[in-house]
Amino acid sequence: MGIIEKIKEIEAEMARTQKNKATEYHLGQLKAKIAKLRTQLLEPPKGTSGAGEGFEVTKFGHGRVALIGFPSVGKSTLLTMLTGTHSEAASYEFTTLTCIPGIIHYNGTKIQLLDLPGIIEGASEGKGRGRQVIAVSKSSDIVLMVLDASKSEGHRQILTKELEAVGLRLNKRPPQIYFKKKKTGGISFNTTIALTHIDEKLCYQILHEYKIHNAELLFREDATVDDLIDVIEGNRKYMKCVYVYNKIDVVGIDDVDKLARQPNSIVISCNLKLNLDRLLAKMWDEMGLVRVYTKPQGQQPDFTDPVVLSADRGGSSVEDFCNHIHRTLVKDVKYVLVWGISARHYPQHCGLAHVLHDEDVVQIVKKKEREDGGGRGRFKSHSTAPARISDRQKKAPLKT
Protein backbone atom coordinates (compact mmCIF):
# COMPACT_ATOMS: atom_id res chain seq x y z
CA MET A 1 0.00 0.00 0.00
CA GLY A 2 1.39 3.39 -1.01
CA ILE A 3 1.56 6.52 1.10
CA ILE A 4 -1.44 8.17 -0.59
CA GLU A 5 -3.57 5.06 0.00
CA LYS A 6 -2.55 5.01 3.67
CA ILE A 7 -3.51 8.69 4.06
CA LYS A 8 -6.92 8.11 2.46
CA GLU A 9 -7.52 5.08 4.67
CA ILE A 10 -6.74 7.07 7.84
CA GLU A 11 -8.91 9.99 6.67
CA ALA A 12 -11.80 7.56 6.07
CA GLU A 13 -11.34 6.16 9.58
CA MET A 14 -11.39 9.70 11.04
CA ALA A 15 -14.56 10.51 9.09
CA ARG A 16 -16.49 7.56 10.50
CA THR A 17 -15.23 8.08 14.07
CA GLN A 18 -17.56 10.06 16.30
CA LYS A 19 -16.00 13.09 17.95
CA ASN A 20 -16.46 13.01 21.70
CA LYS A 21 -14.44 12.91 24.90
CA ALA A 22 -13.79 9.17 24.61
CA THR A 23 -12.40 9.28 21.06
CA GLU A 24 -10.24 12.43 21.24
CA TYR A 25 -7.09 10.40 22.07
CA HIS A 26 -7.64 8.09 19.12
CA LEU A 27 -8.29 11.01 16.75
CA GLY A 28 -5.14 12.76 18.00
CA GLN A 29 -3.02 9.70 17.17
CA LEU A 30 -4.60 9.48 13.71
CA LYS A 31 -3.78 13.15 13.04
CA ALA A 32 -0.15 12.52 14.02
CA LYS A 33 0.02 9.52 11.65
CA ILE A 34 -1.34 11.61 8.76
CA ALA A 35 1.20 14.37 9.45
CA LYS A 36 4.06 11.84 9.39
CA LEU A 37 2.83 10.33 6.11
CA ARG A 38 2.44 13.75 4.46
CA THR A 39 6.02 14.60 5.46
CA GLN A 40 7.21 11.35 3.83
CA LEU A 41 5.18 12.24 0.73
CA LEU A 42 7.09 15.51 0.29
CA GLU A 43 10.52 13.90 0.68
CA PRO A 44 12.40 12.95 -2.51
CA PRO A 45 12.39 9.25 -3.43
CA LYS A 46 15.14 7.11 -1.94
CA GLY A 47 18.18 6.54 -4.10
CA THR A 48 17.91 9.93 -5.83
CA SER A 49 19.64 13.23 -5.27
CA GLY A 50 18.07 15.93 -3.14
CA ALA A 51 17.21 18.12 -6.13
CA GLY A 52 13.95 17.37 -7.89
CA GLU A 53 12.01 18.67 -10.85
CA GLY A 54 11.00 22.27 -10.36
CA PHE A 55 10.90 25.77 -11.83
CA GLU A 56 14.22 27.53 -12.40
CA VAL A 57 13.41 30.99 -11.09
CA THR A 58 16.15 33.11 -9.52
CA LYS A 59 15.20 35.41 -6.66
CA PHE A 60 15.30 39.06 -7.69
CA GLY A 61 14.29 42.35 -6.15
CA HIS A 62 13.34 43.30 -2.62
CA GLY A 63 10.43 40.84 -2.28
CA ARG A 64 8.75 37.90 -3.97
CA VAL A 65 5.00 37.42 -4.50
CA ALA A 66 3.42 34.22 -5.87
CA LEU A 67 0.11 34.03 -7.74
CA ILE A 68 -1.83 30.87 -6.84
CA GLY A 69 -5.23 29.85 -8.12
CA PHE A 70 -7.29 27.50 -10.21
CA PRO A 71 -6.87 27.52 -14.00
CA SER A 72 -8.45 30.39 -15.96
CA VAL A 73 -9.03 32.81 -13.08
CA GLY A 74 -6.92 35.65 -14.56
CA LYS A 75 -3.43 35.14 -13.10
CA SER A 76 -1.62 35.67 -16.40
CA THR A 77 -3.68 38.76 -17.23
CA LEU A 78 -2.96 40.21 -13.79
CA LEU A 79 0.78 39.63 -14.24
CA THR A 80 0.74 41.37 -17.62
CA MET A 81 -1.13 44.40 -16.29
CA LEU A 82 1.01 44.86 -13.16
CA THR A 83 4.46 44.16 -14.61
CA GLY A 84 4.19 44.56 -18.38
CA THR A 85 5.64 41.06 -18.84
CA HIS A 86 3.76 39.11 -21.49
CA SER A 87 2.15 35.93 -20.22
CA GLU A 88 0.01 33.86 -22.56
CA ALA A 89 -3.70 34.19 -21.73
CA ALA A 90 -6.51 32.26 -23.39
CA SER A 91 -10.02 31.01 -22.67
CA TYR A 92 -8.94 27.39 -22.17
CA GLU A 93 -7.46 25.96 -18.98
CA PHE A 94 -3.76 25.35 -18.27
CA THR A 95 -2.58 28.07 -20.67
CA THR A 96 0.45 28.67 -18.42
CA LEU A 97 2.59 25.54 -18.08
CA THR A 98 5.67 26.98 -16.36
CA CYS A 99 6.62 29.80 -13.99
CA ILE A 100 6.74 33.25 -15.59
CA PRO A 101 8.39 36.02 -13.52
CA GLY A 102 7.75 39.75 -13.74
CA ILE A 103 8.94 42.87 -11.88
CA ILE A 104 6.65 45.42 -10.20
CA HIS A 105 8.23 48.88 -9.71
CA TYR A 106 6.37 50.33 -6.72
CA ASN A 107 7.41 52.99 -4.18
CA GLY A 108 11.01 52.93 -5.36
CA THR A 109 11.35 49.17 -4.86
CA LYS A 110 11.39 46.13 -7.12
CA ILE A 111 8.97 43.30 -6.28
CA GLN A 112 9.16 40.00 -8.15
CA LEU A 113 5.75 38.63 -9.18
CA LEU A 114 5.50 34.98 -10.23
CA ASP A 115 2.73 33.63 -12.48
CA LEU A 116 2.43 29.94 -11.58
CA PRO A 117 0.44 27.24 -13.39
CA GLY A 118 -3.06 26.62 -12.11
CA ILE A 119 -3.34 23.96 -9.43
CA ILE A 120 -6.20 21.50 -9.03
CA GLU A 121 -7.68 19.46 -6.22
CA GLY A 122 -5.13 16.84 -5.19
CA ALA A 123 -2.11 19.05 -5.93
CA SER A 124 -0.55 18.15 -2.56
CA GLU A 125 -0.49 14.52 -3.72
CA GLY A 126 1.38 15.41 -6.92
CA LYS A 127 -1.50 15.85 -9.37
CA GLY A 128 -0.76 18.27 -12.22
CA ARG A 129 2.32 20.28 -11.29
CA GLY A 130 1.06 20.90 -7.79
CA ARG A 131 4.25 20.03 -5.92
CA GLN A 132 6.41 22.37 -8.01
CA VAL A 133 3.89 25.20 -7.67
CA ILE A 134 3.68 24.78 -3.90
CA ALA A 135 7.48 24.57 -3.58
CA VAL A 136 7.86 27.96 -5.31
CA SER A 137 5.11 29.37 -3.10
CA LYS A 138 7.06 28.39 0.01
CA SER A 139 10.02 30.49 -1.18
CA SER A 140 7.82 33.60 -1.57
CA ASP A 141 7.24 36.37 0.95
CA ILE A 142 3.46 36.51 0.50
CA VAL A 143 0.86 34.66 -1.58
CA LEU A 144 -1.85 36.22 -3.75
CA MET A 145 -4.66 33.66 -4.04
CA VAL A 146 -6.53 34.64 -7.21
CA LEU A 147 -10.17 33.52 -7.14
CA ASP A 148 -13.11 33.85 -9.53
CA ALA A 149 -15.76 36.08 -7.99
CA SER A 150 -18.49 34.30 -9.96
CA LYS A 151 -17.59 30.85 -8.59
CA SER A 152 -18.56 29.43 -5.22
CA GLU A 153 -16.57 29.90 -2.01
CA GLY A 154 -15.55 26.24 -2.25
CA HIS A 155 -12.55 27.14 -4.43
CA ARG A 156 -10.95 29.10 -1.58
CA GLN A 157 -11.48 26.24 0.86
CA ILE A 158 -10.03 23.67 -1.55
CA LEU A 159 -6.90 25.76 -2.18
CA THR A 160 -6.41 26.44 1.53
CA LYS A 161 -6.75 22.74 2.28
CA GLU A 162 -4.20 21.80 -0.40
CA LEU A 163 -1.67 24.35 0.90
CA GLU A 164 -2.13 23.31 4.52
CA ALA A 165 -1.60 19.66 3.54
CA VAL A 166 1.99 20.49 2.52
CA GLY A 167 2.82 22.65 5.54
CA LEU A 168 1.75 26.15 4.43
CA ARG A 169 -0.18 28.05 7.10
CA LEU A 170 -1.93 31.10 5.65
CA ASN A 171 -2.47 34.20 7.82
CA LYS A 172 -1.51 32.34 10.98
CA ARG A 173 1.24 32.85 13.52
CA PRO A 174 3.44 30.11 15.02
CA PRO A 175 1.90 28.57 18.16
CA GLN A 176 3.36 29.60 21.50
CA ILE A 177 4.68 26.15 22.37
CA TYR A 178 8.23 25.46 23.55
CA PHE A 179 9.48 22.03 22.47
CA LYS A 180 12.98 20.59 22.80
CA LYS A 181 14.21 17.02 22.53
CA LYS A 182 16.48 15.61 25.22
CA LYS A 183 18.63 12.52 25.56
CA THR A 184 17.42 11.48 29.01
CA GLY A 185 15.00 12.55 31.71
CA GLY A 186 11.67 11.55 30.22
CA ILE A 187 8.96 13.99 29.12
CA SER A 188 8.61 17.25 31.06
CA PHE A 189 5.09 18.71 30.61
CA ASN A 190 4.27 22.25 31.80
CA THR A 191 1.72 24.92 30.96
CA THR A 192 1.17 28.58 31.86
CA ILE A 193 -2.52 28.59 30.91
CA ALA A 194 -5.49 26.26 31.28
CA LEU A 195 -5.73 23.91 28.29
CA THR A 196 -9.18 23.11 26.88
CA HIS A 197 -8.30 21.32 23.61
CA ILE A 198 -5.50 19.02 24.75
CA ASP A 199 -4.25 17.39 27.97
CA GLU A 200 -1.08 15.76 29.25
CA LYS A 201 -2.11 12.20 28.34
CA LEU A 202 -2.85 13.15 24.73
CA CYS A 203 0.52 14.94 24.46
CA TYR A 204 2.30 11.79 25.64
CA GLN A 205 0.49 9.67 23.06
CA ILE A 206 1.35 12.04 20.21
CA LEU A 207 5.02 12.19 21.27
CA HIS A 208 5.16 8.38 21.50
CA GLU A 209 3.70 8.21 17.99
CA TYR A 210 6.80 10.15 16.86
CA LYS A 211 8.98 7.84 19.03
CA ILE A 212 9.95 10.75 21.28
CA HIS A 213 10.37 9.64 24.90
CA ASN A 214 12.61 12.44 26.28
CA ALA A 215 11.60 16.06 25.70
CA GLU A 216 10.61 19.37 27.28
CA LEU A 217 7.14 20.69 26.47
CA LEU A 218 5.76 24.06 27.61
CA PHE A 219 2.41 25.52 26.50
CA ARG A 220 2.09 29.31 26.60
CA GLU A 221 -1.35 29.40 24.95
CA ASP A 222 -4.49 27.28 24.67
CA ALA A 223 -3.24 25.26 21.69
CA THR A 224 -4.86 22.41 19.78
CA VAL A 225 -3.62 18.99 18.68
CA ASP A 226 -2.80 20.37 15.21
CA ASP A 227 -0.65 23.12 16.75
CA LEU A 228 1.36 20.58 18.74
CA ILE A 229 1.88 18.42 15.64
CA ASP A 230 3.08 21.47 13.68
CA VAL A 231 5.65 22.27 16.39
CA ILE A 232 6.91 18.68 16.50
CA GLU A 233 7.20 18.48 12.70
CA GLY A 234 9.09 21.79 12.61
CA ASN A 235 8.77 22.24 8.83
CA ARG A 236 5.73 24.50 8.70
CA LYS A 237 5.85 27.83 6.84
CA TYR A 238 3.66 30.66 8.15
CA MET A 239 2.85 33.11 5.36
CA LYS A 240 0.60 36.07 4.73
CA CYS A 241 -2.03 35.62 2.05
CA VAL A 242 -4.23 38.13 0.22
CA TYR A 243 -7.40 36.77 -1.39
CA VAL A 244 -7.88 38.49 -4.76
CA TYR A 245 -11.37 38.14 -6.25
CA ASN A 246 -11.19 38.76 -10.01
CA LYS A 247 -14.01 39.21 -12.55
CA ILE A 248 -16.20 41.36 -10.31
CA ASP A 249 -17.73 42.87 -13.46
CA VAL A 250 -19.85 39.73 -13.99
CA VAL A 251 -21.48 39.62 -10.52
CA GLY A 252 -23.89 41.90 -8.70
CA ILE A 253 -22.91 44.84 -6.52
CA ASP A 254 -24.21 43.07 -3.37
CA ASP A 255 -21.90 40.11 -3.97
CA VAL A 256 -18.96 42.46 -4.60
CA ASP A 257 -19.66 44.32 -1.34
CA LYS A 258 -19.85 41.01 0.57
CA LEU A 259 -16.52 39.79 -0.85
CA ALA A 260 -14.77 43.12 -0.26
CA ARG A 261 -15.71 43.12 3.45
CA GLN A 262 -14.07 39.77 4.13
CA PRO A 263 -10.69 39.93 5.96
CA ASN A 264 -7.52 39.99 3.83
CA SER A 265 -9.60 40.28 0.64
CA ILE A 266 -9.43 42.58 -2.41
CA VAL A 267 -11.89 42.72 -5.33
CA ILE A 268 -10.54 43.60 -8.78
CA SER A 269 -11.40 43.33 -12.46
CA CYS A 270 -8.55 42.81 -14.92
CA ASN A 271 -10.95 43.22 -17.84
CA LEU A 272 -12.02 46.74 -16.78
CA LYS A 273 -8.80 47.57 -14.85
CA LEU A 274 -10.69 48.18 -11.62
CA ASN A 275 -9.07 48.52 -8.15
CA LEU A 276 -5.55 47.51 -9.24
CA ASP A 277 -3.99 50.42 -7.33
CA ARG A 278 -5.73 49.24 -4.15
CA LEU A 279 -4.31 45.76 -4.74
CA LEU A 280 -0.77 47.14 -4.94
CA ALA A 281 -1.26 49.15 -1.76
CA LYS A 282 -2.62 46.09 0.08
CA MET A 283 0.29 43.98 -1.15
CA TRP A 284 2.76 46.64 0.02
CA ASP A 285 1.21 46.77 3.50
CA GLU A 286 1.27 42.99 3.90
CA MET A 287 4.90 42.67 2.82
CA GLY A 288 6.02 45.20 5.44
CA LEU A 289 8.96 46.58 3.44
CA VAL A 290 10.96 49.35 5.14
CA ARG A 291 12.75 51.94 2.99
CA VAL A 292 15.72 53.58 4.75
CA TYR A 293 17.58 56.53 3.19
CA THR A 294 21.22 57.28 3.94
CA LYS A 295 22.66 60.66 4.87
CA PRO A 296 26.42 61.29 4.68
CA GLN A 297 27.86 63.64 7.28
CA GLY A 298 27.52 67.29 6.26
CA GLN A 299 25.44 66.46 3.15
CA GLN A 300 21.82 66.17 2.15
CA PRO A 301 20.05 62.77 2.36
CA ASP A 302 20.05 60.54 -0.73
CA PHE A 303 16.41 59.90 -1.61
CA THR A 304 17.13 58.20 -4.93
CA ASP A 305 18.34 54.74 -3.87
CA PRO A 306 16.89 53.50 -0.54
CA VAL A 307 18.07 50.50 1.45
CA VAL A 308 15.06 48.15 1.61
CA LEU A 309 14.65 46.01 4.74
CA SER A 310 11.91 43.69 5.97
CA ALA A 311 11.20 41.54 9.02
CA ASP A 312 11.05 38.39 6.85
CA ARG A 313 14.43 39.08 5.23
CA GLY A 314 16.82 39.66 8.09
CA GLY A 315 15.01 42.28 10.18
CA SER A 316 14.71 46.07 10.21
CA SER A 317 16.92 47.23 13.10
CA VAL A 318 19.92 49.55 12.84
CA GLU A 319 22.23 46.53 13.10
CA ASP A 320 20.43 44.86 10.18
CA PHE A 321 20.76 48.10 8.21
CA CYS A 322 24.53 48.18 8.83
CA ASN A 323 24.90 44.51 7.88
CA HIS A 324 22.99 45.19 4.68
CA ILE A 325 25.56 47.81 3.70
CA HIS A 326 28.66 45.85 4.83
CA ARG A 327 29.30 43.13 7.36
CA THR A 328 32.25 44.91 8.99
CA LEU A 329 30.42 48.22 9.44
CA VAL A 330 28.86 47.23 12.80
CA LYS A 331 32.27 47.12 14.52
CA ASP A 332 33.04 50.73 13.58
CA VAL A 333 29.67 52.29 14.55
CA LYS A 334 29.81 54.73 17.46
CA TYR A 335 26.15 55.77 17.22
CA VAL A 336 23.59 56.65 14.55
CA LEU A 337 21.37 59.68 13.99
CA VAL A 338 17.80 58.90 12.90
CA TRP A 339 15.16 61.18 11.39
CA GLY A 340 11.68 59.82 10.75
CA ILE A 341 8.66 58.12 12.31
CA SER A 342 10.72 55.88 14.59
CA ALA A 343 12.55 58.87 16.17
CA ARG A 344 11.12 60.74 19.17
CA HIS A 345 12.94 63.93 18.23
CA TYR A 346 15.04 65.07 15.25
CA PRO A 347 17.71 63.83 15.15
CA GLN A 348 17.71 61.02 17.72
CA HIS A 349 20.88 59.26 18.89
CA CYS A 350 20.20 55.54 18.56
CA GLY A 351 22.01 52.28 19.13
CA LEU A 352 22.16 49.10 17.10
CA ALA A 353 18.92 47.69 18.56
CA HIS A 354 16.74 50.60 17.38
CA VAL A 355 13.97 49.43 15.01
CA LEU A 356 13.63 51.53 11.86
CA HIS A 357 10.36 52.44 10.15
CA ASP A 358 9.50 53.15 6.54
CA GLU A 359 11.16 56.25 5.01
CA ASP A 360 13.54 56.87 7.92
CA VAL A 361 16.78 58.76 7.30
CA VAL A 362 19.92 57.35 8.95
CA GLN A 363 23.37 58.89 9.43
CA ILE A 364 26.11 56.60 10.76
CA VAL A 365 28.80 58.13 12.99
CA LYS A 366 31.91 55.95 13.08
CA LYS A 367 34.50 55.62 15.81
CA LYS A 368 37.66 57.73 15.40
CA GLU A 369 40.83 55.77 14.81
CA ARG A 370 43.81 56.70 17.03
CA GLU A 371 47.16 57.21 15.46
CA ASP A 372 49.90 54.72 16.36
CA GLY A 373 52.23 57.30 17.88
CA GLY A 374 49.62 59.20 19.82
CA GLY A 375 48.88 59.35 23.53
CA ARG A 376 46.63 61.27 25.84
CA GLY A 377 47.84 63.78 28.42
CA ARG A 378 51.43 63.94 29.59
CA PHE A 379 51.70 60.21 30.22
CA LYS A 380 52.59 57.71 27.55
CA SER A 381 50.19 54.88 26.75
CA HIS A 382 52.19 53.05 24.07
CA SER A 383 55.36 52.09 25.92
CA THR A 384 56.78 48.58 25.54
CA ALA A 385 57.57 48.48 29.26
CA PRO A 386 55.20 46.82 31.76
CA ALA A 387 52.08 48.79 32.58
CA ARG A 388 53.10 49.69 36.14
CA ILE A 389 56.31 51.34 34.80
CA SER A 390 54.81 53.02 31.75
CA ASP A 391 52.20 54.73 33.91
CA ARG A 392 54.95 56.42 35.93
CA GLN A 393 57.14 57.42 32.97
CA LYS A 394 56.61 61.11 32.24
CA LYS A 395 57.11 63.09 29.06
CA ALA A 396 59.39 66.09 28.77
CA PRO A 397 58.14 69.10 30.76
CA LEU A 398 56.05 71.64 28.93
CA LYS A 399 57.64 74.92 27.88
CA THR A 400 56.96 77.85 30.17
Q: What is the pLDDT of residues 70-82, one digit of tens each?
A: 888 888 888 888 8
Taking the alpha carbons of 23, 26, 31, 34 in that order, is the dihedral positive or negative? negative
Name the average pLDDT for the chain: 82
State the DSSP string of 155-173. Answer: HHHHHHHHHHHTTEEET--
pLDDT at 133: 74
- Per residue in 302-322, pLDDT (tens digit) is 888 899 998 888 888 999 999
Asked if residue 242 has pLDDT above 90, the reply is yes
List residues bridging with 242 in a β-sheet.
144
What are the extents of the domains in the chain? 3-42+175-233, 63-172+237-286, 289-366
Fold of 63-172+237-286: Rossmann fold (3.40.50)
What is the pLDDT at residue 281?
Answer: 92
pLDDT of 206 higher than 80: yes
Q: What is the DSSP string of 246-284?
A: E-GGGS-HHHHHHHHTSTTEEE-BTTTTBSHHHHHHHHH
Least confident span in 21-35, 165-179, 291-305, 355-369: 21-35
47-54 LR contacts (CB < 8 Å, sep 24+): 53/132, 54/132, 54/135, 54/136
Whether domain 289-366 has CATH 1.10.940.10: the reply is: no
Comparing 343 with 137, the larger pLDDT belongs to: 343
